[in-house]
């Protein structure tokens, strides 16, 4: 298990000590996200007129909304990725099938060319026999 990390962060103008198994950079990044949300909503007159409890609840709801939207986006990207992987696999199989068909056609062409050469020799032999009679 990773070592526990402690980090002092500032959230909403208050210094807090966060503790977790992530890096200090990560903990600062989380605190920065929360501060950006607070600042975003503090710019709205309607938000500032609400009680602190309501403001806190609205911030929590907005953060939860961001979380669920991100989860939905991840699910969409994962589904697209699976679809692309299936398409890639199908294309690989099609390529192998085409390669086999190409190899078969090349072999048939060699056989036909060989037969053609043999027939040419037969024609020349028969023409020569006809001239000599």
Model confidence pLDDT, tens digit, residues 25-78: 999 999 999 999 999 999 999 999 999 999 999 999 999 999 999 999 999 999
Task: Give 91-107 pLDDT, tens digit per residue.
Answer: 999 999 999 999 999 99
Q: Reply yes or no on whether the pLDDT at 1 is more than 80.
A: no
Angle (deg, nearest 10), helices 52-132 and 24-42? 120
DSSP for residue 22: S
Which pLDDT does position 77 carry in this prediction? 98
Which pLDDT does position 14 carry in this prediction? 96
Residue in the block written with tokens 């709801």: 61
Which pLDDT does position 132 carry in this prediction? 87
73: in domain: no
Instruction: Give residue 116's pLDDT band: very low, low, confident or very high (50, 70, 90).
Output: very high
**Domain count of the chain?**
1
Q: CA torsion angle for 52, 56, 57, 60 (degrees, to 10)?
A: 170
87: in domain: no
127: in domain: no
Which pLDDT does position 122 carry in this prediction? 96
Structure tokens at 41: 């909503």
Which pLDDT does position 2 carry in this prediction? 78
Given its phi and psi angles, is residue 65 left (phi above 0), alpha (psi -120 to 50 degrees) or beta? Answer: alpha
132: in domain: no
Contacts for 9 with CB less than 8 Å, ≥ 6 apart? 15, 16, 17, 18, 27, 28, 30, 31
CA 17/CA 114 separation, integer angstroms: 84
9: in domain: yes
pLDDT mean across residues, the chain? 96
Which pLDDT does position 133 carry in this prediction? 78
Cβ-count burial 90-101 (b if 16+ within 10 Å, e if not): eeeeeeeeeeee
129: in domain: no
42: in domain: yes
Which pLDDT does position 62 carry in this prediction? 97
Residue numbers of the domain that contains 30? 1-48
CB 23 within 8 A of CB 9: no
85: in domain: no
Phi, psi angles (nearest 5°) of residue 38 = -60, -45
């Amino acid at each position: 298990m990773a070592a526990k990390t402690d980090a002092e962060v500032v959230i909403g103008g208050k210094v807090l000590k966060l503790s977790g198994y992530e890096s200090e950079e990560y903990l600062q990044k989380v605190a920065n996200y929360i501060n950006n949300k607070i600042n975003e909503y503090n710019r709205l007159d309607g938000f500032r007129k609400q009680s602190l409890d309501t403001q806190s609840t609205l911030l929590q709801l907005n953060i939860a909304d961001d979380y669920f939207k991100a989860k939905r986006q991840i699910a969409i990207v994962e589904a697209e990725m699976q679809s692309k992987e299936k398409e890639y696999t199908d294309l690989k199989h099609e390529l192998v099938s085409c390669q086999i068909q190409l190899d078969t056609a090349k072999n048939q062409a060699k056989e036909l060319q060989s037969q053609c050469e043999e027939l040419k020799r037969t024609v020349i032999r028969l023409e020569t026999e006809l001239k000599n009679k």
